Amino acid sequence: MSRRYDSRTTIFSPEGRLYQVEYAMEAIGNAGSAIGLLSKDAVVLVGEKKVTSKLLQTSTSTEKMYKIDDHVACAVAGIMSDANILINTARVQAQRYTFAYQEPMPVEQLVQSLCDTKQGYTQFGGLRPFGVSFLFAGWDKNYGFQLYMSDPSGNYSGWKAAAIGANNQAAQSMLKQDYKDDITREEAVQLALKVLSKTMDSTSLTSEKLELAEVFLTPSGSVKYQVCSPESLSKLLLKFGVTQPATEAS
Amino acid sequence: MQIFEYNGSALVAMVGKNCFAIASDRRLGVQLQTIATDFQRISKIHDRLFLGLSGLATDAQTLYQRLVFRHKLYQLREERDMKPETFANLVSAILYEKRFGPYFCQPVIAGLGDEDKPFICTMDSIGAKELAKDFVVAGTASESLYGACESMFKEDMEPEELFETVSQALLSSVDRDCLSGWGGHVYVVTPTEVKERILKGRMD
């Protein structure tokens, strides 16, 4: 029955669903997962790198985490080429705001502005929606640390802990059980790594398969976005007892 | 009324041994009236690149904000800071975009490029670049500055000596210009640190 209502983005089905948007979310369900956690003094983002091969040219750029502005970063799940377009749009929007108002763009306004762009692709133009979900982590002077999740429909909401990508249902329920409101930055990193290690379906967990980034305030009071280096990440994995050694060839 | 002389300004940048200095006056005026004596004419683009903008203050502010916009996006996309030579080309392009309705500014760009080699340049208000090996000047006091720098400049000065030279050149030149002065602001940049100093000169 859905055949007649699912090949155009701009029409509803008789049950009131937008099939193309739902299909986009399906595409994301197959992508590498990402988890975000809000703590008292930082926002933590952890991502699973799906593409690991010895042949990959190593570079310092990240695959899952991107800086949008000095005070906002995001983790992506889904089609990377779609994500690149949206990240660029978000960066330009943040700079336009700063140009006009000479202050950093509030996090929610940035998320909303990007979601407005995404929504446009579900209502007019005849173009397909973006196959990306985002976790936005940021700090502004009005609301402090914030975490937002947005999906292809252009909906967004603020979260204390959220997961996107593969096995996000399992990750979300684990987070619901273990998350406490007054969690500290180190506890948040530990919880994020623990949950991700349980929901990832790879047999060995090493720092090559993960990315960890944090948005926090430096002692001088400015916001900083920092990606954890592979060496520090390995140490953290060992410290929290989350590393599983690579299975020996039997 | 000359538009370039509306607010008054003096800017100079000088090359030393693996370092550079960029200095400006501190007066902001509206023709003959002095409005502020702590006006910042030099801005940091990143740790190794400084931009000074002389001329009409409102255009200097807007131009600076536009350049920050472009540089921030460059940093995010390329994951590195802009080289001074590249930045100079960007400024030149942005100024030429407004060829028939220009920004009334004369920029002075100073930075450390590859291998910590100092780079300075200036350009006119529509983007004609002037690269120099020794010093560049801009502003209402530029004629005096040319003379002072030409006589005081020596090659390969160390940071401390460079600071003294730039300061003397700036202060003696702005003293001959009624539209600039009220002290000086000097940045001496080496590969390891940035030293910012305020000069007290004739406060008139």
A249 lies in some domain = no
Which residues in B lie closer than 8 A to residue A73 (C-beta atoms)? none
A11 lies in some domain = no
pLDDT tens-digit profile, chain B (204 residues):
899 999 999 999 999 999 999 999 999 999 999 999 999 999 999 999 999 999 999 999 999 999 999 999 999 999 999 999 999 999 999 999 999 999 999 999 999 999 999 999 999 999 999 999 999 999 999 999 999 999 999 999 999 999 999 999 999 999 999 999 999 999 999 999 999 999 999 998
A248 lies in some domain = no
Tell me: the pLDDT tens digits for B77-90? Answer: 999 999 999 999 99
pLDDT of the residue at A248:
38
Q: Write the single-letter amino acid at B15.
A: V
| A126 dihedral zone (left: phi>0; alpha: psi -120 to 50; beta) | left
pLDDT of the residue at A1:
52
- Least confident range from A50-54, A64-68, A243-247, B192-196: namely A243-247
Reading the block at residue B50, the tokens are 């400084």
Could you report the predicted ipTM of this complex, rounded to two decimals?
Answer: 0.89
Tell me: the pLDDT tens digits for A130-143? Answer: 999 999 999 999 99
A247 lies in some domain = no
The whole-angstrom distance between A22's CA and the closest CA on chain B is 31
Does the pLDDT of residue A206 top 90, yes or no?
Answer: no
Q: Any residues with CB less than 8 A from the CB of B127 and at least 6 apart, and which?
A: B91, B92, B93, B94, B95, B96
Side-chain half-sphere exposure of A135, counting CA atoms within 13 A: 29
Tell me: the pLDDT tens digits for B24-58? Answer: 999 999 999 999 999 999 999 999 999 999 999 99
Tell me if A210 sits within 8 A of A61, measured CB to CB.
no
For an interface test with B, the pick among A99, A103, A226, A227 (most B C-beta atoms closer than 10 Å) comes out as A99
Sorting pLDDT into bands at 50, 70 and 90, what band is A250? very low
Does the pLDDT of residue A247 top 50, yes or no?
Answer: no
Domain count, chain A: 1
Angle of the B159-174 helix axis to the B142-152 helix axis, nearest 10: 140
| Domain ranges within chain B, ordered by starting residue | 3-199
In CATH, what number is assigned to the domain containing residue A42? Answer: 3.60.20.10
- List B residues 20-79 in contact with A (Cβ-Cβ < 8 A): 65-66, 68-69, 72-73, 76-77, 79
Pick one of 3.40.50.2300, 3.30.2010.20, 3.60.15.10, 3.60.20.10 as the CATH number of B3-199: 3.60.20.10
Tell me if A239 sits within 8 A of A228, measured CB to CB.
no
Cα B59 to Cα B103: distance, rounded to the nearest angstrom: 6
Structural domain of residue A46, as residue ranges? Answer: 19-240
